């Protein structure tokens, strides 16, 4: 069970950024790479030499990474990546943490740097929607008739979202193409699409445009960049991130009551966990108080309805697994 330590997220706040011992870099770049495997070998050596840890996916379509290290290591990493011609203009979203966000280095070759599964004909370099700066995004929300569309996963939206946004009930980004027909009525609307850092919007907006959506725009730099510029204006809750921090504040959101609700009690909480039953492993919000009251609340509602308990669930160290052994 993972428990959010909010002080890590607060490292983004004023006066803390320079003192935080770890700098976190979120970035991506769609660009043609002829030999991803060779790139990975060289890039792994670079990361090891700098002491940088994190998760990096590489494909013929580009790179997608979140890495962390000391401020010095992070600065040298940015410099080294930008020194390569194809990544000279890569944009890094920078945040900070008091504890290591990652405990190992993973660099892998994948078919896609973010998996949508819409086919190779979908090209985010040529088909993606126009980008809106955070200033233009905010202006359009305030002055125009627009629809906000969150292309992230269900649990990310539960942690925080733009007010009034449509939040598709997907557990994985690759489920988006299958449910797209449910939003046919939006084809003539002005759709403003957003995600954490921008990478999923590049592909999702291309998917929407290919399906006949006429006016689609995407938030440049995603939630992270918007929050740096406009804080929590038009935003509610925090921002889910895929590292040990689990979430970071958007503007002053850490000072407000969370919008996330406990899976079992409905009470406000920022505590993100995985369902204890490994074959399920659903990401959900469960309050510390709910777990203290009943250890079986480490399981999601579906697993509890199926009759699973802490004693019978399949997880590392479970009594049931010990009996089988």
DSSP assignments along 138-192, one per residue: HHHHHHS--EEEE-S-HHHHHHEEETT-B----SSGGGHHHHGGGGGGGTTSEEE
252 located within any domain: no
One domain for residues 93 and 162 = no
The rounded distance, in Å, linking the Cα atoms of 190 and 177 is 19
| DSSP symbol at 206 | H
Residue 249 lies in a domain: no
Are residues 138 and 192 both part of a single domain? yes
Asked if the structure places residue 256 within a domain, the reply is no
Chain-centre distance for alpha carbon 159: 11
Cα torsion through 226, 230, 236, 237, rounded to 10: 70
Give strand ranges (E) for 43-132.
53-59, 62-69, 93-97, 105-109, 131-132
* Sole residue written with tokens 């895929």: 242
Length of the chain: 325
3 state DSSP class of 224: helix
Looking at the fold, whether 233 and 161 belong to one and the same domain comes out as yes
Q: Specify whether 275 is catalytic.
A: no
Q: Which of 195, 239, 275, 300 is catalytic?
A: 195
Total domains in the chain come to 3
Q: Give the position of tokens 């579906």.
A: 302
Q: Please tell me whether residues 142 and 96 are part of one structural domain.
A: no
pLDDT of residue 1: 35
Distances (CA, A) of 274 to 29, 144, 258, 271, 282: 30, 39, 19, 10, 5
- 64: in domain: yes
Q: What is the pLDDT of residue 202?
A: 97
Residues 130 and 235 in one domain: yes
DSSP code of residue 261: B
Question: What pLDDT, on the 0 to 100 scale, is given for residue 323?
Answer: 64
User: In the chain, which residues have pLDDT < 70?
Assistant: 1-19, 323-325
* The domain boundary residue, chosen from 62, 82, 109: 109
Q: What is the pLDDT of residue 119?
A: 82
Cα distance between residue 138 and residue 159, in whole Å: 21
User: Residue 221 sits in a domain of what CATH number?
Assistant: 3.40.250.10
Residues 10 and 84 in one domain: yes
For residues 177 and 105, membership in a common domain is answered with no
Residues 156 and 87 in one domain: no
- 77/158 same-domain check: no
- Asked whether residue 211 is assigned to any structural domain, the reply reads yes
Do 171 and 202 fall within a single domain?
A: yes
Q: Which of 75, 109, 143 is the last residue of a domain?
A: 109
Domain-located, residue 276: yes
Q: Which residue, among 188, 189, 187, 168, has the nearest Cα to 179 in the 3D structure?
A: 168
Q: Model confidence over 273-321: pLDDT tens digits?
A: 999 999 999 999 999 999 999 999 999 999 999 999 999 999 998 987 8
Are residues 146 and 102 both part of a single domain? no
Identify the DSSP state of 88: T
**E-only strand ranges, the chain:** 22-30, 53-59, 62-69, 93-97, 105-109, 131-132, 147-150, 160-162, 190-194, 215-219, 235-237, 239-240, 247-248, 272-274, 283-285
* Domain assignment of residue 95, given as a range: 6-109
Residue 117 in domain: no
Token pair belonging to 209: 């445009």
Closest by CA position to 160, among listed 220, 244, 95, 247: 247
- Domain assignment present for residue 119? The answer is no
Q: Cα(285)–Cα(291) distance, rounded to whole angstroms?
A: 11
Sign of CA dihedral 283, 285, 288, 290: negative
Q: Which residues, 6 or more positions from 300, have their beta carbon under 8 angstroms from its beta carbon?
A: 263, 275, 277, 280, 282, 284
**What CATH number is associated with residue 79?**
3.30.70.100
pTM for the whole structure: 0.88
One domain, residues 317 and 281:
yes
């Amino acid at each position: 069970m993972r428990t959010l330590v909010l002080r890590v997220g607060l490292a983004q706040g004023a006066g803390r950024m320079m003192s935080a011992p770890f700098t976190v870099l979120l970035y991506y770049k769609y660009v043609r790479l002829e030999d991803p495997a060779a790139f990975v070998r060289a890039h792994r050596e670079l990361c090891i030499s700098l002491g940088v840890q994190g998760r990096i996916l590489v494909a013929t379509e580009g790179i997608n990474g979140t890495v962390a290290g000391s401020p010095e290591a992070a600065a040298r990493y940015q410099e080294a990546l930008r020194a390569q011609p194809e990544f000279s203009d890569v944009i890094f979203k920078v945040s900070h943490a008091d504890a290591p966000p990652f405990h190992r280095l993973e660099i892998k070759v994948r078919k896609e740097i973010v998996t949508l599964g819409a086919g190779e004909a979908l090209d985010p370099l040529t088909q993606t929607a126009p980008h809106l700066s955070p200033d233009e995004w905010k202006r359009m929300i305030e002055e125009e008739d627009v629809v906000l569309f969150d292309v992230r996963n269900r649990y990310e939206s539960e942690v925080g979202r733009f007010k009034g946004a449509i939040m598709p009930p997907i557990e994985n980004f690759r489920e988006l193409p299958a449910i797209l027909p449910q939003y046919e009525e939006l084809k003539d609307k002005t759709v403003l699409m957003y995600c954490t850092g921008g990478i999923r919007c590049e592909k999702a907006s291309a998917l929407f445009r290919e399906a006949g959506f006429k006016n689609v725009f995407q938030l440049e730099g995603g939630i992270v960049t918007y929050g740096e510029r406009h804080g929590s204006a038009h935003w509610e809750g925090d921002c889910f991130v895929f590292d040990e921090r689990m979430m970071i504040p958007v503007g002053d959101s850490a000072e407000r009551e969370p919008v996330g609700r406990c899976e079992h009690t409905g009470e406000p909480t920022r505590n993100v966990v995985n369902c204890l039953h490994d074959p399920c492993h659903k990401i959900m919000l469960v309050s510390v108080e709910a777990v203290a009251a009943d250890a079986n609340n480490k399981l999601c509602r579906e697993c509890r309805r199926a009759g699973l308990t802490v004693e019978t669930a399949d997880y590392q160290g479970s009594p049931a697994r010990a009996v089988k052994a």
